[in-house]
Amino acid sequence: MTRRQTLAMVISSVAAPAIAAAAIALPAGLITQDFLVRDLASSVGMVLPASFVQVLGAPSLLLLALAGLGIAAVGALGPATWAATSKTSTALRAE
């Protein structure tokens, strides 16, 4: 494989786990944040309107998910660069 092919292979291998993690973690984080903020507010006798807790719209959530995918790709650049510059047998053994 050429260096570019190795880089593309390693970076594309993080795409599926990053998408799965974003699909699971983003809703779970938003639900947890909503629960905790409402619980903390109710513990001091406050009632929060929905607009206080639900501040992100669909475009912002999509941008947040894409940012996670970008972070995963940038995080894969180090190992991908190492794999592209090392011998194939060494990279495959390290895998």
Query: Which pLDDT does position 18 carry in this prediction?
Result: 78
Query: Which pLDDT does position 95 carry in this prediction?
Result: 67
Report pTM: 0.54
**Mean pLDDT split into 10-residue runs, the chain, 95 residues:** 77 79 83 86 85 78 82 81 78 71
Query: Which pLDDT does position 30 carry in this prediction?
Result: 82
Who contacts 54 (Cβ-Cβ below 8 Å, separation ≥6)? Answer: 34
- The beta strands (E) that lie in the chain are given as none
What's the length of the chain?
95
The CA-based dihedral angle spanning residues 77, 62, 24, 39, taken in that order and rounded to the nearest 10 degrees: 120
Which amino acid, one-letter code, is at 93? R
Query: How far is Cα 29 from Cα 60, in angstroms, rounded to an integer?
Result: 14
